[in-house]
Amino acid sequence: MADTAEFIKDLCTPAFVVDIDVVRRNAETMLERFQQLGVQLRPHMKTHKTLECADIMTGGSRRCIAVSTLAEASFYADHGYDDVLYAYPLPFDKVERCARLSERLALFHVLLDNKLALQQLTRRPLQRGKVWRVWMKLDCDNGRAGVLHSTQDALQLARDISETTGVELTGIYAHCGNTYGCKGKEQITAIAQETTTNILQFMERLKAIGIQGPKSSIGSTPSCSHPVPDMAMLSEVHPGNYVFYDVQQSLIGSCRLEDIAVRVVTRVIGHYPHRNQLLVDCGWAALSQDGGGRLPTGYAIIEGHAELKLTSMTQEHGRVEPLSGALDYSQFPLGSTLYLIPHHACATAMMHQVYNVHSKGKIVNTWKVFRGW
């Protein structure tokens, strides 16, 4: 049930809050950045999974998005979105659902990285004169999904897709998730350049064997926050986390702390001087444990209190202690609020059914989150 508080300090806690002014600034910056480069932005919806935020990220066009689940794809289709890329290696149990979306929308795209997946598509030819629009996932040294960019297998799969009846090779897709291991802009831009070079070289190899026309796309929030000039030669980019950002992104060098749009509001519910700790009402059911507490401040940054550390969490509790010295409990009365800046916004957002959207601390909206696979 949505909270009826007027200000974020009055919310029932733990609560996930979104600064709408920061969200809009982040979204507009990314849109303008790639408009200037002449590259299509295809924002990924996986971070927030809401209609309202999607409208902001697409500039109100309700076109050209990436999703990580078919539930998201159907949700956005139900709300007038089109040109939707299911940016996930094709699961064989979901081919029929993909077919129905392909027949329903003007543009629905699937992604694959092996010939068996291609065979699954041929077993379900589309109706209404439609063809399967396929993006081939290329591994440009990220090491997750995708066929390795430097291999003959990659060229052969592209040829197989392009020569299959009822199937169109729409694009080549690479995720430079290895940027998440970077420290600073210089390392980010080095990987962005390497990924861009690899995919552009692969596009040239495709032309050499007579395959013309597929689009090229790379993406990760770090690489798209610091694009290199050669990215102007790409067709699309597909970042997602940038609309919220998080502590992880700030440590990588993607953003500043002031660019992080989300917080988890928690309340002090216990004073324990004998162990020099506060107890708060936020545990791992409301805040991601990503990062493993490796931050100097533990599992999150406690806004405005660099001297505090979120030391540990159980399901519904968090323990807070000072980095050094004794706690001054008068600064943290029982019932007072603390604001936790999450290490990973995507994982933390998924723990909350409603986002409390505010401007300068005043609640202006609530966004309901869509779930499922």
pLDDT tens digits, 231-277: 999 999 999 999 999 999 999 999 999 999 999 999 999 999 999 99
What average pLDDT does the segment 122-140 reach? Answer: 97
Report whether pLDDT(365) > 60: yes
Whether CATH 2.40.160.40 fits 257-368: no
The tally of CA atoms less than 13 A away on the side-chain side of residue 159 is 11
Query: How many CB atoms neighbour CB 302 within 10 A?
Result: 21
pLDDT band at 45 (very low <50, low <70, confident <90, very high): very high
Give the Å distances, CA to CA, from 204 to 37, 86, 207, 213, 227. Answer: 21, 25, 5, 11, 21
Is residue 229 classed exposed, middle or buried when 0-12, 13-18 and 19+ CB atoms within 10 A define those classes? Answer: exposed
With beta carbons less than 8 A apart as the criterion, state whether 180 and 249 touch.
Answer: no
What average pLDDT does the segment 7-23 reach? Answer: 97
With beta carbons less than 8 A apart as the criterion, state whether 51 and 77 touch.
Answer: no
**What is the token pair recorded at 190?**
């080095």
pLDDT for residue 294 = 85
pLDDT for residue 1 = 42
pLDDT for residue 115 = 97
Report whether pLDDT(25) > 50: yes
Q: Strand 300-302 and strand 337-342: pairing?
A: antiparallel
Choices 3.30.470.10, 3.40.50.300, 3.20.20.10, 3.30.70.1450: CATH for 20-241 = 3.20.20.10
| pLDDT higher at 2 or 148 | 148
Span 68-80, pLDDT tens digits? 999 999 999 999 9
* Helices and strands counted in the chain (H then E): 10, 18
Q: Where exactly does CATH 3.20.20.10 map onto the chain? A: 20-241
pLDDT, averaged across the chain: 96
With beta carbons less than 8 A apart as the criterion, state whether 192 and 223 touch.
Answer: yes
What average pLDDT does the segment 100-117 reach? Answer: 98
CA distance linking residue 355 with residue 326, whole number of Å: 35
Q: What proportions of the chain, in percent to the nearest 5, are helix, strand and coil? A: 35, 30, 35
pLDDT for residue 292 = 85
pLDDT for residue 136 = 98
What average pLDDT does the segment 85-98 reach? Answer: 97
pLDDT for residue 3 = 56
What average pLDDT does the segment 328-355 reach? Answer: 97
pLDDT for residue 21 = 98
Q: Where exactly does CATH 2.40.37.20 map onto the chain? A: 257-368
pLDDT for residue 293 = 83
pLDDT band at 212 (very low <50, low <70, confident <90, very high): very high
**Spatial CB neighbours of 48, under 8 Å, sequence gap ≥ 6:** 54, 243, 244, 349, 355, 367, 369
Report whether pLDDT(2) > 80: no
CA distance linking residue 257 with residue 254, whole number of Å: 10
With beta carbons less than 8 A apart as the criterion, state whether 239 and 221 touch.
Answer: yes
Share of the chain above pLDDT 90, in %: 96
Q: What kind and span of H or E run contains 323?
A: none
Q: Strand 63-67 and strand 82-89: pairing?
A: parallel
